[in-house]
Amino acid sequence: MAAKILVSDPLAEEGLELLRQEAEVEVETDLTPPQLVETIGQYDAIVVRSATKVTAEVIEAGQRLKVIGRAGVGVDNIDVEKATEQGIMVVNAPTPTVVAVAEHTMALLLATARHIPRGDASLREGKWLKKQLVGTTVAGKVLGIVGLGRIGTAVAKRAQAFDMEIIAYDPYLTREQIEERGATPVSSLEELLKRSDFVTLHVTLTPETRGMIGAKELDVMKPTARLINCDRGAVVDEEALLKALEEGKLAAAGLDCFCQEPATDNPLCCSERVVATPHIAASTVEAQRDVGREIARQVLTALRGERPQHLVNPAVWGEHE
């Protein structure tokens, strides 16, 4: 009997086609949390993006679940601990969106440096703000990268082309590894924040990184500095960030993610010092096509009883050998 897979968030057709080659696939992208709990028991696998929350309640109700697939990188919408406890594999697709997110990071960096959104909006209003919208050159400026994983490294590579000085803080890498990835290592987050003209965040959301950029951290940054976040909204204390911007302690921020989404009523989105986008850093045609294919491969590999390449909770593998 073919395995049954529930796809509860939009997935590229290329990914769906791969899944359908080996499994029975049902796409239900409008399920409420109670509906998901009610129906999950009939599936062997579920594929989600960031909208669906795979809670402990969902996992407990998924009596047939063998694998949870996250079409993307972050798994903070999945109770990985509960899945591990239940012997359920969690897989993700960390590589296909790297370039897209790195490009969007640079786009926000440049937009904050050169007032691009305000320039565009003012022209549409019939205003000519040439004298008011004086930007800053990025060449020669210090870019501080917090987290030098796949995306952070891709950002460093692109920033090199803009002749930026790149420093990085990543407590999980040695000095040699940071240097190999194109950055100069610093000893602490505080040192990075003090030295940087631009700071970009690329860390996994964990209890340790939640709120890692708060009032204390913002206070040590240069008043001319700009903060870029294409990571997870919760790594930044939004109230403290808004206060720092309003008081002129920070020049600008480029934000693609927020603590609560949709963020249509978030006061940060109304600030002239903020360039905001609706969590679209990974949303390119190419990235989503490749994410769909990659997560399909990971899920099918797991369902065949083979070890997936991107297994988030390797502790469960012994139960499936």
Query: Annotated active-site positions, please?
Result: 232, 261, 279
216 sits in which H/E element: helix 215-219
Residues 42/61, Cβ–Cβ less than 8 Å: no
Distance of CA 162 to the CA centre of its chain: 23
Residues 195/199/202/205 CA torsion (nearest 10 deg): 90
Q: Alpha-carbon distance 46 to 79, whole Å?
A: 13
110 sits in which H/E element: helix 98-114
User: Quick one: which of 137, 135, 131, 141 has its CA closest to 164?
Assistant: 141
Which residues touch 299 (CB under 8 Å, ≥6 apart)?
5, 19, 45, 47, 67, 69, 91, 308
